[in-house]
Amino acid sequence: MDYNRSAKEILDNIGGKDNIESLTHCFTRLRFVLKDENKAKKEVIEQVEGVISVVLSGGQYQVVCGAKVTNIYEALISLLEEQQEEEKNEEKNEEAEQNSSVSSQSNPQKQKVLNVMLQKVTEMFTPLIPAIAAAGLMKGLLTAAQLLMKQQGVDITTSDTYTILYSASQVIFYFLPIFLAMTCAKAFKCNQVIAMAIGATLVYPAIDALMQNTEVASTIFGLPIMKGEWQIGEATKVFSYTESVIPIILAVFVMSYLEKGLKKVIPEVLQIILVPGLELLIMLPLTLVVLGPVGIYVGNGIQFVYDELMGFSMILGGALIGGLWCVFVIFGAHRALLPIGLNDVAVNGHQNLLAFAGAANFSQGGAAFGVMLRTKKKELKQVAASAGVAATLVGVTEPAIYGCNLRLKKPMIFAVICGAIGGAIMGAGHVYGDAFANNGVLTIFTYAAFGMTKFFFYLAGIAVSFFGAAILTYFFGVEE
């Protein structure tokens, strides 16, 4: 397909460059923030080659493109840059340059607070998903290899290859504050390198050792650095910023306002040195003394609430997540839940959020394959086949949802029901994974890390989700 033509048609019908506040993308969607959504022609855009559907959610105008999203996004950016350059050549004044910006900062006063928060969460976590998914895949493969070789009486965990690959699978989580600092700084429009320096300081070995030594008080500029430890079941968890999520988000958020304030009072000729220097001198003690501890306790609070809800009934929790996850996907709200899973890994060393979400992924894939087997329409059969592979193999469900299941209605209903049943089965088995991995066939072994009993419950859950949705869709979901 011609990505440049598709990009031009989307741009023309979205209201043109001047109607775009910002543009980002995730695995499957172009995410626009528009100045005036009424100028966009939804029906026309949905007919553009490569576009699956258009969704308005969370203050964003989301164009679902499936696996083609990256190529269309790059073509859009090139097109926007070309138009920007043309306008700069025509108008030299500063006002024209500001109006021709490809991506400008949204005005929060014009948007609901919740929409702005969802946008920022998406901007912070979406760029990290490929690395997190790759780490989960690698960890799953290592677990599978370890189990297979153990049957042969071989312990591969002592080999250099295993050590290197396992370390690579852990890096994105261990140094998460550094990676999050980069994406947060981009979302909050402040210096990315200084933000990363703050994140790196939090996980620097000497600082981590200082935090781990809870018997000795530590200070910075005479201010006390908060340390501590708490019990999680029978284990003791020490106050640490490695793998943490909330502290660096708070730090970069505050830094964004500090940076703006410093630029207002410091002469422009001195800003290149004084602004970043003062940011570090102010933010490091502020983070270690105030923001970091607040972030740790907020993370623990979120985890406590999540654990209590799961403790009330993990079967019910699994059913709700397994059934409703793909409903959240329709509205793009599932991104807001990702920090819960990442925080679970940081605090407890495991997570079950994406395990239950896996039931939803496999149910969508099963429903799509049911459509493929039942329909006589060649085009729908091709769409359903490719969508089923994407959902089942790598856990990307948007093509299945928008390409066939939601369009035909009944397959979507069957997928929700079977996803809920599959999630409940996983909840009954107390399924956990040791990595934050998107659920699909390629990452199945992520859920074998805590014993074969839990793994069998996971397999049973995805089997019921997949085959249940496929069978129900085949017999009752397609009317032609």
pLDDT tens, 161-215? 999 999 998 898 889 999 999 999 999 999 999 999 999 999 999 998 898 888 8
Domain covering 3-109 assigned CATH 3.30.1360.60 in the classification: yes
Mean pLDDT, rounded, for 279-294 = 94
How many CB atoms lie under 10 A from the CB of residue 220?
Answer: 13
Angle (CA) 291 122 406, round 5°: 145
Judge contact between 346 and 299, C-beta under 8 A.
yes
pLDDT tens-place string over residues 210-239: 988 888 889 999 999 988 766 555 555 667
Look over the chain and give the mean of its residue pLDDT values, rounded to a whole number.
85
Asked if 344 and 304 touch (Cβ cutoff 8 Å), the reply is no
DSSP, res 68: G
In sequence order, which residues have a C-beta less than 8 Å from that of residue 440 and are 6 or more positions away?
A: 358, 361, 391, 392, 393, 394, 395, 396
Tokens linked to 327: 């409903």
- Sorted by sequence, the CB contacts under 8 Å of residue 381 that are 6+ apart come out as 371, 372, 375
- 180 vs 183: CA distance, rounded Å: 5
Count of positions (residues) in the chain: 480
Which pLDDT score is estimated for 454? Answer: 92
Q: Residue 64 and residue 84: Cα distance in Å, rounded? A: 25
Task: Give which of 4, 5, 39, 45 is closest to 19, Cα–Cα.
Answer: 39
b/e per residue 316-336 (b: at least 16 CB within 10 A): ebbbbbbbbbbbbbbebbbbb
To the nearest whole percent, how much of the chain has pLDDT over 70? 90
Q: Would the pLDDT of 354 be above 80?
A: yes
Mean pLDDT of 416-445: 88
Give the lowest-confidence range in 105-109, 346-350, 416-420: 105-109
User: What sign has the CA pseudo-torsion 441, 442, 444, 445?
Assistant: positive
Query: What is the Cα–Cα distance from 123 to 26, expressed in whole angstroms?
Result: 9
pLDDT at 316 over 70: yes
**pLDDT tier at 87, thresholds 50, 70, 90:** low
- Residues of the chain with pLDDT > 90, as a percent, come to 40
**Count of CB atoms situated within 10 Å of the CB of 115:** 17
Nearest CA among 206, 303, 286, 301 for reference residue 250: 286
**Residue 346: what residue type?**
A
Mean pLDDT (whole number) for 429-454: 84
Q: How far is CA 221 from the centre of its chain?
A: 37
Query: Helix, strand, coil % (nearest 5) of the chain?
Result: 70, 10, 20
For the chain, give every domain's residue range.
3-109, 175-303, 313-477
Would you state the pLDDT for residue 103?
46
pLDDT in tens, 96-149: 444 444 444 444 444 566 677 777 887 888 788 778 878 877 887 888 888 888
Q: What is the average per-residue pLDDT within 417-430?
A: 95
Query: Among candidates 241, 167, 243, which has minimal Cα distance to 206?
Result: 241
